[in-house]
């Protein structure tokens, strides 16, 4: 049986309050997700798993969100939504120029964030349109990373 997962989200956010709210809302909405609490962990998770969208904070420990975005963009066209307290237009322009697909400032309305996530997932499907995860019984393999 081939299973195409279409709602796997990587949340890279160091604020435990925000991650808890996102966790509860995403479970309610039926999204599957992983949470990384710093940029280094986020990059490692991205490189070792399949995701359909990244929700990325800018101000992260270890590696900044800007650097994470830059590194991800070198190897992938995955939709990236920056979620940050930085409201300055310069930060928004830099983030979008680095390759982010969208930019949401904190505090945010959950309904708007969910709509932006749905839009990002739609755009991501049309960009890639390719099989990324093969599953057979209890065996699965990510075709892009060639890891099980």
Domain range list for the chain = 8-142
What's phi and psi for 11, nearest 5 deg?
Answer: -100, 120
Burial of 139 (0-12, 13-18, 19+ CB in 10 A): exposed
If one looks up domain 8-142 in CATH, what number appears?
3.40.50.2300
Predicted confidence at residue 148, as pLDDT, reads: 62
Q: What is the pLDDT along the chain (148 residues), one digit of tens a residue?
A: 333 444 799 999 999 999 999 999 999 988 999 999 999 999 999 999 989 999 999 999 999 999 999 999 999 999 999 998 887 888 888 888 888 999 998 989 999 999 999 999 888 764 444 445 666 667 766 655 666 6
Predicted confidence at residue 33, as pLDDT, reads: 94
Other beta carbons within 10 angstroms of residue 11's beta carbon come to 24
Predicted confidence at residue 84, as pLDDT, reads: 85
Q: Where are the beta strands (DSSP E) in 1-148?
A: 8-12, 32-36, 53-56, 80-84, 102-105, 133-136, 139-142
pTM: 0.79
Predicted confidence at residue 144, as pLDDT, reads: 59
Predicted confidence at residue 90, as pLDDT, reads: 86
């Amino acid at each position: 049986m081939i299973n195409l997962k279409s709602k796997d989200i990587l949340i890279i956010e160091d604020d435990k309050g925000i991650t808890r709210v996102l966790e509860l809302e995403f479970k309610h909405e039926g999204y599957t997700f992983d949470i990384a609490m710093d940029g280094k962990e986020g990059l490692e998770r991205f490189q070792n798993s399949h995701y359909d969208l990244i929700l990325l904070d800018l101000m992260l420990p270890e590696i900044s969100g800007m650097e994470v975005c830059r590194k991800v963009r070198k190897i992938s066209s995955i939709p990236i939504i920056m979620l940050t307290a930085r409201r300055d237009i310069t930060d928004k322009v830099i983030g979008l120029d680095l390759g982010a697909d969208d930019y949401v400032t904190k505090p945010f309305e959950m309904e708007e964030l969910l709509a932006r996530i749905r839009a990002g997932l739609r755009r991501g499907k049309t960009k890639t349109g390719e099989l990324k995860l093969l599953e057979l019984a209890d065996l699965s393999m990510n075709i892009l990373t060639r890891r099980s």
